[in-house]
Amino acid sequence: MDQKRILLIVGGGIAAYKSLELTRLLRKAGIGVRPILTAAGAEFVTPLSLSALAEDKVYSELFSLTDEAEMGHIELSRSADLVVVAPATADLMAKAANGHANDLASTTLLATDKPVLMAPAMNVRMWEHAATRRNLATLKADGVHFVGPDEGAMACGEYGEGRMAEPAAIFQAIQGLLTSGRPLAGKRALVTAGPTVEAIDPVRMLTNRSSGKQGYAIASALAALGADVTLVSGPTALPAPAGVKRVDVESARDMLAACEAALPADVAVCVAAVADWRPAEAGGQKIKKDGAAPAPIALVENPDILATLSKHARRPRLVIGFAAETHEVEAHAQAKLAKKGCDWIVANDVSVAGTMGGDDNAIALVTAGGIERWERMAKGAVARRLAERIAGELK
Ligand code: CTP
């Protein structure tokens, strides 16, 4: 559990005192706690006690110059492995379910790309109200996890469901979420993506069409399952996915060198559209037109990164290639599997309009065991399904 970090949002309710005990339990287990205290939460526990137990600064203002200078609210929302809301009041649930962003807690919940765990705490009538039921259903559909509430006597004198789960139970739920869903934790993944560019002279180049979207989505999906991912990327217009180490390269030879430097790895996924050839001579000076017919460009073959990794002394256990084809897709993919010596080929039919540079992909997974055809889906969904398959294979 060491080095894990929780962003703990403490809402306004009598149960807020239990969040102090939760903070103590988390710190004792070596888990970092960065607290956000809502204005209502500060009516129940003081920033000083929360800060002392968390051994960290308490964040509470959305528009605080000092807080923003230290860590912007977007960065704050991404700074932990898990966001925990305890107590999650009816108001915080309603805000999160409806995407409000009018204070630090709600803005953080809207901006985060990390899993969220809520420990609701409220009066039994509020918990049973149709509005809260709707919000609960929405939040669950959005993937938010819940622990509690428990049934029992309430601070308001009523009895029923609505008491916040005990700190030990919340702690257990946190431990479960920090360890589950990360089947690739401890595994190293190498992903190539984007095009390569091969210089003709300092201003001209040969390149391939590739947005990099599919490769970036795969790097991101592998990281989400806990892998330590190196993304070796040719020039693209995409930002580096969160939690992924990106190495920028231009030519095929640079890409190969960066891949070899990233070894050892448990899995390599070669998604890059590598230029098959490069000009034999890349002039150091711009080639001038000077009126004569253009000189032909002599080409030499580039190294095949996928084939090199497949027969490398430090070969990753699982090597996966892509085959972008316009015709006889599966036959070509099967031939590539044999020729390159990789384990799987993800074949995609780029003759389908909107695949190149688009957001959807229709693929077939070709392995020694046969061909599996996947229905057309978003590139993100292809990535997640492939990452799950990789996790299954490396288990
Ligand atoms: N690939 C590679 N290095 C190269 C060429 C291709 O690593 N120099 C990888 C791609 O990243 C992809 C797979 O090989 O995973 C297939 O690429 P593709 O361009 O479809 O195949 P080619 O080997 O270039 O064959 P062809 O051009 O004949 O289709």
Examine the pLDDT at 387 and tell me if it is beyond 80.
yes
CA dist., res. 335 & res. 340, Å (int): 9
* Residue boundaries of the structural domains of the chain: 5-178, 188-394
Closest CA to 211 of 137, 272, 290: 272
Q: Can you give the pLDDT at residue 201? A: 92
CA–centroid distance, 240 to ligand 1, in Å, is 23
Q: Largest alpha-carbon pair distance within the chain?
A: 95
CB atoms within 10 A of CB 66: 8
Task: Name the residue with the closest Cα to ligand 1, atom 21.
Answer: 323
Determine the residue of 198, 208, 322, 337 to mutate for testing ligand 1's pocket, defined as the one with the most ligand atoms within 8 A of the Cβ atom. 322
Nearest to 340 by CA among 309, 379, 364, 318: 309
Task: Dump pLDDT digits (tens) for 260-279.
Answer: 999 999 999 999 999 999 99
56 lines ligand 1 (CB under 6 A): no
The residue written with tokens 């009041």 in the block is 89
Q: Which fold has domain 188-394?
A: Rossmann fold (3.40.50)
- Whole-prediction pTM value? 0.65
How far apart (Å, rounded) are the C-alpha atoms in residues 352 and 355? 6
* Residue 272 in contact with ligand 1 by CB distance below 6 A: yes
At residue 105, does pLDDT exceed 90? Answer: yes
How much is the pLDDT for 237? 94
Using the mean position of ligand 1's atoms as its centre, give its distance from the Cα of residue 282 in Å: 22
Give the per-residue pLDDT at 1. Answer: 44
> Would you give the DSSP letter of residue 194?
S
Statement: residue 2 has pLDDT above 60? no
DSSP of 44-91: TS-HHHHHHHHTSPPB--TT-HHHHHHS-HHHHHHSSSEEEEEEE-HH
DSSP 177: H
Are the folds of 5-178 and 188-394 the same? yes
Lowest mean pLDDT among 26-35, 288-297, 342-351, 370-379: 288-297
> Does residue 156 have an active-site annotation?
yes
- Domain 5-178 class in CATH: alpha beta
- Which of 96, 89, 102, 79 has its CA nearest to residue 7? 79
Tell me how far CA of residue 317 lies from CA of 51, 189, 394, in angstroms: 46, 10, 8
Give the pLDDT confidence of 318-360 residue by residue, as tens digits: 999 999 888 888 889 999 999 999 999 999 888 777 777 677 8
**pLDDT at residue number 68:** 65
